[in-house]
């Protein structure tokens, strides 16, 4: 099973990727985790990535693609993998196709998590952080016992600027602009599968299974 999960921030692809990777017995490969592993391993690409990460800069495509090539060549991907949030651009998609071709593999399906913007905003703007100890809560999925107050230290909770509706809305629009061509790319190659990303986790998981032909 070689699939990629795509979807906007807050779509829930990471949650599903973790559970299905365990169920299918394949690794979940998320770009951030992959880069951190490369940095920890001290590979040449990891050292390159570290320089950008230490500066808070975006890691360029060539480094991400190189790290992905290293990761997909590892033994644990022999039975398949789930790519979580990769590729993000046409260039990355084409590079991925080349990597897999060199490995004698191909991407079997790309699952796109379709979630209404109102639901994404609800999920992404609900985070609250304690000003004193930094503990994180969510108004919907993990609310504090007392509204506005940290369960751990009693400090006041606040919403980070990154989590404001205006900022989150802009992130979603940027993602949509970047991803629309990518969805067309995989649709044209008969690889795209769209699932509704709203509803019970188990229902979404079953829909993914049907979409990629595993039934679970």
Residue numbers annotated as active site: 13, 88, 127, 160, 171
Cβ atoms 184, 176 nearer than 8 A: no
In the block, tokens 């190659």 appear at 189
Which one, of 55, 81, 70, 64, lies nearest residue 212 by Cα? 81
Half-sphere exposure of 9 (CA within 13 A, CB side): 17
Cα separation, 14 vs 19, in Å, equals 9
Longest dimension (CA), the chain: 56
């Amino acid at each position: 099973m070689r699939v990629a999960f795509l979807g906007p921030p807050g779509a829930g692809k990471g949650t599903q990727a973790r559970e299905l990777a365990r169920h299918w017995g394949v690794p979940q490969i998320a770009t951030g985790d992959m880069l951190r592993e490369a940095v920890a391993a001290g590979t040449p690409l990891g050292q390159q990535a570290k320089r950008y990460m230490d500066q808070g800069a975006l890691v360029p495509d060539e480094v991400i693609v190189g790290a992905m090539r290293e990761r997909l060549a590892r033994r644990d991907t022999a039975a398949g993998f789930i790519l979580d949030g990769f590729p993000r651009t046409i260039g990355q998609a084409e590079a991925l196709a080349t990597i897999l071709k060199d490995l004698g593999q191909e991407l079997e399906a790309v699952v796109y998590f379709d979630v209404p913007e109102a639901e994404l905003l609800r999920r992404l703007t609900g985070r609250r952080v304690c000003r004193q100890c930094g503990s994180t809560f969510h108004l919907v999925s993990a609310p504090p016992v007392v509204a506005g107050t940290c369960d751990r230290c009693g400090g006041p909770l606040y919403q980070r600027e990154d989590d404001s509706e205006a900022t989150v809305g802009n992130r979603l629009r940027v993602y949509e602009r970047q991803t629309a061509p990518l969805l067309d790319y995989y649709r044209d190659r008969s690889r795209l599968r769209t699932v509704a990303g709203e509803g019970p986790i188990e229902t979404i998981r079953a829909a993914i299974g049907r979409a990629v032909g595993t039934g679970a």
